[in-house]
Structure 1
Amino acid sequence: MAREMDRPRRVHRTDWMALLSGLLFIALGIMVVIRGITDALVLIGLLMLGLAFAGLVAIVARVVRGK
């Protein structure tokens, strides 16, 4: 047990682009299934805006992290 405590703990950084993109696709998928979005143009517009937002958050997170 002492050996386990001596090892440095690995830190896994959050991949914000992947996390937000996955949440976006889940949310848009639910909206399509429940017929909340019926127009393909609206769906594509929301998809592009959501991916742009996820990219912006990922860039800001990387700058703040200092990488």
Structure 2
Amino acid sequence: MRPDAREIGPDGAPVKKERRYWHRTDWLSLFSGLLFVGIGVRYLVEPAPDALTMLLSLVFGLGFAGFFAVIARVSRKR
């Protein structure tokens, strides 16, 4: 079977097609990164907040990111 005309290069040799690989979004990494960027911006913009408040927001934020990642993974398998 001959290759299509668009698959033949100027020298007559077949041209390899580029493969594009798509990967699924890693929601846990995305939300965790946004959380850490948000906390960093919070420390840069305003005076240092209470450490306990920031620790609790970090723990709850990471928990929310983990919960969302689990829900996304379960919905992909269906």
Same fold (TM over 0.5): yes
Q: Distance in 1 between matches of 2:75 and 2:47?
A: 36
Deviation at 1:10, TM superposition (A): 2.1
- Kindly tell me: are residues 36 and 58 of structure 1, through their superposed partners in 2, closer, same or farther at Cα, counting changes over 3 Å? farther
How many residues matched?
A: 65
**Coordinate RMSD, CA, aligned:** 2.1
64 and 37 in structure 1: CA distance in 2 versus 1, 3 angstrom threshold:
farther
Give the Cα separation in 1 of the matches to 2:72 and 2:47.
Answer: 32
1:40 aligns with one of 51, 56, 64: 51
- Pair 1:14-2:25 in alignment: yes
Larger Rg over CA atoms: 2
Q: TM-score, normalised by structure 1?
A: 0.83
After superposing on structure 2, the runs of 4+ consecutive aligned residues of structure 1 that deviate more than 3 Å are none
Displacement of 1:30 after TM fit?
0.5
Q: Which residue of 1 aligns with 2:70?
A: 59
Instruction: Flag structure 2 segments of 5+ consecutive residues without an equivalent.
Output: 1-5, 8-15
What SS is found at the alignment partner of 2:17?
helix
In proportion to residue count, which structure has more helix?
Answer: 1
Q: Structure with the greater relative contact order (CA < 8 A, sep ≥ 6): 1 or 2?
A: 1
Alignment gaps of 5+ in structure 1: none
**C-alpha displacement at 1:35, in angstroms?**
1.9
Worse-matched range after superposition: 9-18 or 28-37:
28-37
**How far apart are the structure 2 equivalents of 1:36 and 1:19?**
26
